[in-house]
Amino acid sequence: MKDIEYLRSRPKSDMHNHLNLSMKYERYKHWAGVAIPNFPRKMTGLDEMHEVIGSYTRPRCKTAKDVKDLFEMSIQDAIADNVVWLETSIDINFLKHYDNNLDKFLSDISELVAKYKKEIEIRPEVGIPKTLDRDFIRTWVYPLFESKVFNNVDLYGPEVFEGIEDFAYIFKLAEKHNIKKKAHVGEFSDAQSVRKFVELFDLDEVQHGIGAASDDSVLKFLADRKIRCNVCPMSNVMLSAVPSLKEHPIKKMIDAGIPIGLGTDDLLFFGKTNSDQLYDMLKCGLITDADAEMLMAVRG
């Protein structure tokens, strides 16, 4: 079994990451000047996580400079873990911190990508929450895609399916602009929901997707279509989506032939870098050394 020093020394990717919440807690606490009580801790789903965001992290982030600071801290902590390829969501709602000044928003993102390009390939994605005002999304998604600053799009939020067809135009537009199509599904929802999202939006990749493991036909569907699932094991444990790391379905998905990427999701909340996650999965016997090497080698 590879030790933690070896894993930290190896170049790797982070394929599922939210740039405003992907720094270590100690770094965040020093910047914020505020401690979050009993944190990080295991939670009972996304609602509890969003309570913490609403009470602590969102109120602390008031300005465009705050947003950029959060992004930069996350990039620095990725580099510290030898992440050389980072696919990371930037929530469209942060435009409001820039007073809807699109040029400044894009400039700050481009500046960070360029500043760290010798150490890490940053692939920004337009992060779209399902709960955001639909008119706001429609207003801004077109210029964001046209900017050529973003490589991917990621739809996320509560795993509810009523009115989900309203977002189909976004993925058609993404295809037109050669933007990789991702969506969060199958974190808490079932296998059929994963299949539905892939078919409805013609997804290239699924964020999470672990619900697929409950249905062998959906595993085969994903494998046959070569749909990568960008899985975040510690996030799933900490949000009680799985009972324990040892019971996580990542190995079942790998063995089913599904391409798998490894992600930290929100390092601030879950406390484990990708090196840490690999070590923990090896230690409990969930994955093999060969699996770990494969996960570290994922790019693009």
Catalytic residue positions? Answer: 187
30, exposed or middle or buried, with CB in 10 Å at 0-12, 13-18, 19+? Answer: exposed
Output the CA torsion 170→18→262→5 (10° steps).
160
Question: For 278, phi and psi rounded to 5 degrees?
Answer: -60, -45
Cα 22 from Cα 20, distance rounded (Å): 6
Cis peptide upstream of residue 249 (ω within 30 degrees of 0): no
- Return the DSSP state at 201: H
Residue matched to tokens 């930037």:
90
Question: For 219, phi and psi rounded to 5 degrees?
Answer: -60, -45
Cα 103 from Cα 88, distance rounded (Å): 20
Per-residue burial over 133-142, b = 16 or more CB atoms within 10 Å of its CB, e = otherwise: eeeebeebbe
In three-state secondary structure terms, 178 is coil
